């Protein structure tokens, strides 16, 4: 159920979102965490790992891969790609059989 408070009093709605407001632990924001988040967002947006490597200035792709992690979005994209490949394979195999 959405909060009925006006926009200027959103803080009153913190109780509706678990982990928000006063109860949320403060996270330490560092240059490393910003860099990691930037790399993750680039990959989620579809930017290739090699391109991200160039942007971050890494000599090795292995270093770039450490900045990435499987998120819900990238995981769903991987599932979609695999499903598409399997569908194409099934169609091709069905035609040749």
Is residue 93's pLDDT more than 90? no
CB-count exposure of residue 67 (10 Å: 0-12, 13-18, 19+): buried
Most confident of the ranges 15-19, 76-80, 88-92 = 88-92
What does the mean pLDDT of the chain come to?
Answer: 76
**30-74 tens-digit pLDDT:** 998 898 888 888 888 888 889 999 999 999 998 888 766 766 677
């Amino acid at each position: 159920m959405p909060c009925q408070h006006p926009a200027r009093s959103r803080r009153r709605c913190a109780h509706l979102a678990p982990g928000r407001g006063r109860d949320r632990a403060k996270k330490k924001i560092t240059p490393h965490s910003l860099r990691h988040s930037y790399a993750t967002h680039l990959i989620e947006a579809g930017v290739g790992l090699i391109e991200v490597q160039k942007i971050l200035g890494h000599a090795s792709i292995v270093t770039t891969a450490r900045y990435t992690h499987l998120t819900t979005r990238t995981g769903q994209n991987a599932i979609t790609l695999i499903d598409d490949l399997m569908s194409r394979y099934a169609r091709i195999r069905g035609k040749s059989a």
